[in-house]
């Protein structure tokens, strides 16, 4: 797939984007959930080898190429790895799946009810590397915990500022200001968030687009103006701690948003499953998430 093919696939594809981007801090927990005990690896390299083996098994499962997964977000080390003898990005594209790369370097301490992204000192080098690896786009996460107008304005401004650097590098940014679903004032704060995003979309130069990854809103249909906005390629939803069933039920009440789930996709997979069992469990999750997305 070339860039135009990938743009069309993301813009019009009937399916969802898989989040396979757990990084260093969340990897041990993800491995335990997969049935890999801490005693089975020692040090970062062995840990990342274990998680890459899990992701490679997901990517090569027959159901993953069913057409219902239209994109996948990778961690840098997953992008660097090989699947079936080719780069991970090429393995995905061979299955009709558009590859993205996680580029943020974690969260700063909370201030004004939000956690901005830490300074992204490796961004320029990672963007160049990602272009060379055939990635289509990027993803970067920050978190909103309260309906603080100053904090929300700062978080959206930072996301769009970095987004401009990503666009300049030739990649499609997924802007992800996650709203903590446990926040008591979430409905109020999401209205502020919507207004800030619309403001920044209006300031984007003609011909530029971004993607948005947002918590499923407390008010059904809140983000409809973003779904139809000409400067938004696609709006995707994170599960944010909801159970898979609840996340899918809520997502289905927000037409135009598609899923970008991690835990909901992978939570029932185990290293000890036979390939047939693994494919059946993964296929069931894919079917449920895809159905909620379309």
Q: pLDDT grade, residue 41 (50/70/90)? A: very high
CA gyration radius, the chain:
18
Q: Is 7 left (phi over 0), alpha (psi -120 to 50) or beta?
A: alpha
pLDDT of amino acid 30: 86
| Contact assessment for residue 131 and residue 169, using Cβ atoms and an 8 Å cutoff | yes
Condensed to tens digits (0 to 9), the pLDDT of residues 138-166 reads 999 999 999 999 999 999 999 999 999 99
Condensed to tens digits (0 to 9), the pLDDT of residues 204-230 reads 999 999 999 999 999 999 999 999 999
Tell how strand 172-179 and strand 82-83 pair up: unpaired
Q: pLDDT grade, residue 65 (50/70/90)? A: very high
pLDDT of amino acid 273: 97
Question: Whole-number mean pLDDT of the chain?
Answer: 95
pLDDT of amino acid 24: 61
Instruction: Clarify whether 110 is annotated catalytic.
Output: no
241/99 Cα distance (integer angstroms) = 24
Condensed to tens digits (0 to 9), the pLDDT of residues 169-187 reads 999 999 999 999 999 999 9
262/239 Cα distance (integer angstroms) = 8
Instruction: Clarify whether 190 is annotated catalytic.
Output: no
* Residue range 46-66: mean pLDDT, rounded: 94
Given 76, 176, 178, 190, the catalytic residue: 176
């Amino acid at each position: 797939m070339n860039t135009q093919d990938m743009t069309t696939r993301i813009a019009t594809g009937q399916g969802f984007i898989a989040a396979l981007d757990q990084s260093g801090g969340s990897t041990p927990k993800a491995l335990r959930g997969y049935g890999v005990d801490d005693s089975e690896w020692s040090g970062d390299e062995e840990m990342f080898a274990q998680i890459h083996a899990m992701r490679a098994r997901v990517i090569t499962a027959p159901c993953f190429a069913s057409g219902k997964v239209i994109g996948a977000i990778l961690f840098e080390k997953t992008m660097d790895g090989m699947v079936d003898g080719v780069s991970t990005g090429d393995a995905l594209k061979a299955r009709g799946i558009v590859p993205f790369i996680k580029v943020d370097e974690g969260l700063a301490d909370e201030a004004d009810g939000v956690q901005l992204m830490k300074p992204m000192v490796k961004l320029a080098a990672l963007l160049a590397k990602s272009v060379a690896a055939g990635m289509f786009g990027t993803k970067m996460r920050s978190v909103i915990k309260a309906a603080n107008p100053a904090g929300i304005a700062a978080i959206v401004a930072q996301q769009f500022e970095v987004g401009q650097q990503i666009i300049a590098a030739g990649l499609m940014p997924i802007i992800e200001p996650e709203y903590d679903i446990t926040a008591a004032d979430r409905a109020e704060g999401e209205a502020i968030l919507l207004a800030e995003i619309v403001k920044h979309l209006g300031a984007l130069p003609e011909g530029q687009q971004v993607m948005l990854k947002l918590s499923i809103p407390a008010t059904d249909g809140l983000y409809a103006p973003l779904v139809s906005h000409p400067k938004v390629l696609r709006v995707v939803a994170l599960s944010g701690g909801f159970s898979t069933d609840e996340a899918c039920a809520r997502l289905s009440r927000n037409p135009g948003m598609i899923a970008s789930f991690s835990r909901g996709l992978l939570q029932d997979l185990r290293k000890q499953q036979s390939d047939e069992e693994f494919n059946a469990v993964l296929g069931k999750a894919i079917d449920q998430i895809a159905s909620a997305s379309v």
